[in-house]
Amino acid sequence: MRERVHVREVGLRDGIQMVKTMLSTARKLGWCEATAAAGIRDIEVTSFVPAKVVPQFSDAEEVARGALALGGFTASALVPNLKGAERAFAIGLPLVNYVLSASEAHNLANVRRTTDESIADFARIVAARDAHPGPRIALGAGIATAFGCTISGAVAEARVVAIAEHLAAAGADEIIVADTVGYADPRQVGRLLGKVVAAVGRLPVACHFHDTRGLGLANVVAALDAGVRRFDASLAGLGGCPFAPGATGNINTEDTVYMLEQLGFDTGADVEALVALRREVESWLPGERFSGAIARAGLPKTYRARLDAAA
Amino acid sequence: MRERVHVREVGLRDGIQMVKTMLSTARKLGWCEATAAAGIRDIEVTSFVPAKVVPQFSDAEEVARGALALGGFTASALVPNLKGAERAFAIGLPLVNYVLSASEAHNLANVRRTTDESIADFARIVAARDAHPGPRIALGAGIATAFGCTISGAVAEARVVAIAEHLAAAGADEIIVADTVGYADPRQVGRLLGKVVAAVGRLPVACHFHDTRGLGLANVVAALDAGVRRFDASLAGLGGCPFAPGATGNINTEDTVYMLEQLGFDTGADVEALVALRREVESWLPGERFSGAIARAGLPKTYRARLDAAA
């Protein structure tokens, strides 16, 4: 019985927010359906930001409703503020992820308020969630630039831990620690995630890594060693941040699944089905930069999941 | 006082053996000189294989002599057999690396003899080295396909450990454990290198990773945890093996140095000087595939080596 590691597909959110091609709602839902068919049961399907800020998400309601109608996976969405959260609650998504930046400068650039103000906003989102009729909605709370910031440089670990504690105390159901700009290294990941996991106690902790400087998968291993069992990833390594220059590329979903399976974890996902989907998504997004080793090199003869299935 | 990790540049050997452009001897020596100027003190400068097998190495003698004349770094060369070793000894290189494959099928394809025959060949190379006049020449012994083989699949860890013991007993000064085809994962690396380091005792153990499936740097971290402090890497991630389909790309020198410095080790190397050299080497090799994150994204504001230097 292998231990489960949850890979959440964020290609439809982080992955496409900077791409030039506007994806149709139908293609977004096709991407969701194929991802779930490939065995990934957690998908961040959209972002409830104003359409004028990120036009790619002007169909957020339609995508979220369509994803719920598809079923077979946990559909979540990102929200930057209370207004976005209320839009997500109205659709009935079971999981809504809020994000703030540990870096004051990045938070100001991203949402024009201080980190403390964003923590207070989260408390208001929790209250709105509590007041919302219907089944309980889970709230994820993300801490962006937790490993450093392109604007202000280093971010103190104690600050990240304190923010995680505030978000947990305010009512978060999950803490997501994000290397928004690709500054993290494995030693730093092991140290910080060890502290965050200890600080937030019973809450699950997820990591959101970008592979900007090539250390994404090494950072996953360090986070695994610190007890993390949830990772965001983006098909074909799509991704970026409008306020983080050079922050191209979430860790690649298919490569992450490959590594986790080789390490002996159970992701539930089929790498070859993900690569097939990736080829389709690539054809939808001409001119974008895609990354990923497995799509190029293929699985090794020693791929564990395949050997286990044959045994 | 940070702990030293030795990065050996193998771009001039593994890196260029499959490239289409014939590099001039002058450019090869310019590459050596700039690498040493960037702070890398170990360079595998060529391979003493028959010129008809790999025409890129038809100037092996000139490159090796030129590298020795440059000085400032430890020049080594790869040799596949006694004949190659005798050519390398004649030049007076201080370090000569022999390689065999743990996979019988790969060894047969590569050098047309069994692994046991290749171990016996190494004993003859040691005897020739001992009989050679002049300063003592060190002998590295590499074990290719130590983590699996594209021809025969899995390779037993006990077999790799036994080969390492045989090579150490025969007189190797260093054992190099190589993931020739990019099959290794961090758990496997930790387990196998732990056993090899324990088995060969006082001898230094190096790792030679390919990034074929994206796990190269994660594997370096696992090897560091197992006590390894020597790594082969290739500028711009060049590399391949004529008998390992899809085995493109050694781990990238500049990214490896970046990660090691961020982890708190001292490589002695300057990442930006390596990136500048990489740009030049790229211009020499049109049409080749180059990899690497730092050359694309640049160093983070939190780059440790730079912060330390400023402090």
Cα B286 to Cα B284: distance, rounded to the nearest angstrom: 6
Rounded Cα distance, B110 and A167, in Å = 58
A310 Cα to chain B: minimum distance (Å): 14
At residue B97, the pLDDT reads 98
Q: Do A222 and B221 touch (CB under 8 A)?
A: yes
CB contact under 8 A, B213 and A297: yes
* A301 interface with B at CB cutoff 8 Å: yes
Nearest Cβ partner for B214 among A246, A263, A293: A293
> Is residue A175 helix, strand or coil?
strand
Which domains, from first to last, does chain B contain?
6-310 (3.20.20.70)
- CA-based torsion, A107, A110, A113, A117: positive or negative: negative
Under an 8 A CB cutoff, do A212 and B293 touch?
yes
> What pLDDT is recorded for position A201?
83
H/E stretch holding B8: strand B6-9
- Cross-chain Cβ contact B301/A186 below 8 Å: no
Question: Does the beta-carbon distance from A252 to B298 stay under 8 Å?
Answer: no
Tokens coding A76: 């979540």
B-chain residue closest to A151, CA distance: B301
SS3 state of residue B91: helix
Residue from the list A218, A221, A246 with its beta carbon closest to the beta carbon of B297: A246
- B218 and A213: CB-CB below 8 Å? no
Strand partners for A232? A8, A208
Residue B18 predicted with pLDDT over 60: yes
The closest alpha carbon to A102, from A59, A24, A52, A155, belongs to A155
Nearest by Cα to B305 from B246, B264, B275, B255: B264
Q: What angle do CA B22, B232, A292 make, to 5 degrees?
A: 80
Cα–Cα nearest to B178, from B204, B210, B203: B210
Nearest-by-Cβ selection for A259 from B185, B255, B258: B185
| Chain B contact set for A252 (CB, 8 A) | 214
Determine contact: A283 vs chain B, CB below 8 A.
no
Bridging pattern class, strands A205-209 and A230-233? parallel
Query: Which amino acid, A168?
Result: A
Find, in chain B, the residue whose alpha carbon is nearest to that of A292: B214
Considering the candidates B32, B149, B207, B241, report the single residue annotated as catalytic. Answer: B241
Q: Which amino acid is at B240?
A: G
Mutate to test the interface with B, among A185, A241, A248 (most CBs of B within 10 A): A185
Q: With an 8 Å Cβ cutoff, is B188 touching chain A? A: yes
pLDDT at B268 exceeding the cut of 90? yes
User: Contacts of residue B211 in chain A, CB cutoff 8 Å?
Assistant: 293
A&B contacts, CB < 8 Å: 121
- In B132-233, where does DSSP find H-type helix? 157-170, 186-200, 216-225
Instruction: Give CA–CA dist B183/B214, Å, rounded.
Output: 10
Chain B interface test: which of A192, A210, A215, A294 (most B C-beta within 10 Å): A215
Residues recorded for chain A: 311
Does an H or E element contain A196, and which?
A: helix A186-200
Could you list the pLDDT tens digit for every one of the 311 residues in chain A? 899 999 999 999 999 988 989 999 999 999 999 999 999 999 999 999 998 989 999 999 999 999 999 999 999 999 999 999 999 999 999 999 999 999 999 999 988 999 999 999 999 999 999 999 999 999 999 999 999 999 999 999 999 999 999 999 999 999 999 999 999 999 999 999 999 999 998 899 999 999 999 999 999 999 999 999 999 999 999 986 555 555 568 999 999 999 999 999 999 999 999 999 999 999 999 988 889 999 999 999 999 877 887 77
Nearest to A153 by CA among A176, A117, A183, A178: A183
**In this complex, do A218 and B218 lie within 8 Å of one another by their Cβ atoms?**
yes
pLDDT value of position B27: 98
Q: Which of B190, B141, B133 is nearest to B170 (CA)?
A: B141
Q: Is 80 exceeded by the pLDDT of residue B247?
A: no
Residue A94: predicted pLDDT: 98
A188–B262 CB contact, under 8 Å: yes
Top residue of A221, A225, A272, A291 to mutate, by most chain B CBs within 10 Å, is A221
Give residue B243's pLDDT.
52
Secondary-structure breakdown of chain B: helix, strand, coil percentages, each rounded to the nearest 5: 45, 15, 35
Question: And the tokens for B111?
Answer: 């050098």
Would residue B112 be called left, alpha or beta, if left means φ above 0 and alpha means ψ between -120 and 50 degrees? left
Q: Name the minimum distance, in Å, from the CA of B27 to any CA of chain A.
A: 28
Active site residue B241: yes
Q: Is B190 on the interface with A (CB under 8 A)?
A: no
Cβ atoms of residues B122 and B170 within 8 Å: yes
Half-sphere exposure of A58 (CA within 13 A, CB side): 8
Nearest CA in chain B to A191: B263
Tell me the one-letter amino acid at A198.
A
Unique residue bearing structure tokens 């996991």: A197
User: Cα distance from B103 to chain A (closest Cα, Å)?
Assistant: 13
Rounded-to-integer distance, Cα B243 and Cα B181, Å: 9
Residues 6+ apart with CB under 8 A from B308: none
Torsion over CA: A107, A108, A113, A117 (sign): positive
The helix/strand/coil state of B111 is: helix
Q: How far, in Å, CA of B124 to CA of A73, rounded?
A: 62
Cross-chain CB nearest to B259 (options A154, A185, A302): A185
- pLDDT tens-digit map of A100-152: 999 999 999 988 999 999 999 999 999 999 999 999 999 999 999 999 999 99
b/e A112-149 (16+ beta carbons within 10 angstroms → b): eeebeebbebbeebbeebeeeeeeebbbbbbbbbbbbb
- In this prediction, residue B246 carries a pLDDT of 52
Q: At what angle do helices A157-170 and A115-131 cross, to 10 degrees?
A: 20
Are A57 and A49 contacting, i.e. CB atoms less than 8 angstroms apart?
A: yes
